[in-house]
Amino acid sequence: MTEYADANALGLAPMGGPNEDDEDLARRLELVRDHRRQVDIEKGRILAREQAHAEIRADKVADTDFASLYLSRSQLLNMPTPQPLIDNVLPRHSYVILRGRDQSFKSFVALDWACCLATGKPWQGHTAKPTPVLYVAGEGGYGLARRIEAWEYAWSHLIDDRMLTVRNGALDLHRPGPAFDDLLDVVRRGQYGLVVIDTLRRVSGNADGNSSEMGVVVDNLDRIRQETTDGTVLAVAHTDKGDNDARGYSGIEDDADVVWSVKRDDMYLALELAKMKDGPDGRTVHLLANKTLDSLTLSATGGLPKPNTTESQIKFLDVLRASDPDGMPSGRLMSLCTAAGIGESTYYRVARELAEAGHIVNLGTQQRKVWAIPPIEDRSHDLSPQETAPDLGGSHNSHDSQPALSLTTLTLTSLKGESEREVREDPS
């Protein structure tokens, strides 16, 4: 019966047909038997791997000093407090979820954290402890190259090869095999302090995302965490239709120590701490996506600008861009702006503000001004983010409330259409 089953698996016709001679029969039997030998070898490998895992788990249990797990009050209070990876953002020894809709720039946030940890650069003013990082790029690592290059350019930090490793492609955490064993070995030998899984869906294999099958995936994320060097696993996840929780099985977030939620409004991001097991949650970090080289980088901001603080400036730039961004005489531009609802006195004030900030340049003379929008390449050096800590309490300082926007903010707002087209080619 086994030989017939193997023959069917190989797509061979039933043996012993009326036109089959002894030589053909012998050849086909050898193919079937060779197939059976390969199947038996593979079964032996799988059984050996499962037995090895069982023995490793048994050895760990045997070596465990169970008495040390029971602590008195004094022992509990004297336990050392582990230092965070990123202060008030990413703790150690944690399973962290970073969730958001498609194209919410959540992968840019994850990469920003990863690059800061790989270099020791503070993240938006929050201290980052240098540690090796492994980034599992489930959708492939090719798009990461330009993102990392843009990050290095914006922050003037070159990432050491030993501090950031990218796994180019996903693996199956639902039904783990040799690839998972290899990953655990790489994490252990590499002494990684952060492992980024981007995205959770890409490593879930054929698991039903809405069922307890995802529990196996979450358990294997914890196995990865256990192999880190006092580190953390960060899983990038998509949200449900209501953009309220990670999509699918509730245990994805229930088992998480920390949950960060990304919400995007144009080029502005609100990064909200939705859950912190060992600390207060509810804080929000406001970020701005800056066009840098062929990608985007993130910088701190006070939040969405008030509409009435930039309306005339944006309208001025829209008129200039729609008419002739390469240069338009001031008199003609003022007529178009007046038709768009900008008064004469407001026109001169806005033109002066934009020129002082570098958003527009005068290609003519002081007497005969010709206003133009400088090319993006000429402004790229001005798009470097500022290393200032965001106000986690949500308040705005006096500088944030001033009518004039920063160069980065106004440039990206006025170039909204162009930025969105480019981002669609590099979504996250």
CA distances from 89 to 10, 97, 184, 234 (A): 55, 12, 25, 12
Report residue 60 as tokens.
Answer: 């760990």
Q: Is residue 368 left, alpha or beta, with left meaning phi > 0 and alpha meaning psi from -120 to 50?
A: beta
DSSP H/E element including 299:
strand 295-300
Report residue 133 as tokens.
Answer: 């990082």
List pLDDT tens digits, range 189-218. 999 999 999 999 999 999 998 888 999 999
List pLDDT tens digits, range 287-297. 999 999 999 99
Which residues are paired to 254 by β-bridges? none
Query: In this predicted model, which residue has the larger pLDDT, 341 or 8?
Result: 341
List pLDDT tens digits, range 288-333. 999 999 999 999 886 665 444 467 888 888 898 888 878 899 999 9
Architecture label for domain 95-282: 3-Layer(aba) Sandwich (3.40)
Cβ proximity of 343 and 312 under 8 Å: no
Which residues are paired to 197 by β-bridges? 136, 235
Closest CA to 311 of 345, 340, 277: 340
Query: Other CB atoms closer than 10 Å to residue 29's CB: what's the count?
Result: 15
Summarize the confidence of residues 60-84 as an average pLDDT. Answer: 80
Fold of 307-424: Arc Repressor Mutant, subunit A (1.10.10)
Q: Is residue 181 left, alpha or beta, with left meaning phi > 0 and alpha meaning psi from -120 to 50?
A: alpha
Long-range CB contacts (< 8 A, 24+ apart) of 347-353? 347/316, 350/312, 350/313, 350/316, 351/316, 353/313, 353/404
Distance CA 188, CA 181 (A): 11
The pLDDT score that the predictor gives to residue 358 is 76
Distance CA 50, CA 48 (A): 5
Start and end residues for every CATH 1.10.10.10 domain found in the chain: 307-424
Start and end residues for every CATH 3.40.50.300 domain found in the chain: 95-282
Report residue 294 as tokens.
Answer: 């062929």
β-bridge pairing 258-265 and 268-276: antiparallel
Side chain identity at 199, as an amino acid letter? Answer: T
The pLDDT score that the predictor gives to residue 375 is 64
Q: Distance between alpha carbon 144 and the CA centroid of its chain, in Å?
A: 10
The pLDDT score that the predictor gives to residue 173 is 95
DSSP H/E element including 350:
helix 344-357
Q: Say whether pTM exceeds 0.75.
A: no
pLDDT for residue 261 is more than 90? yes
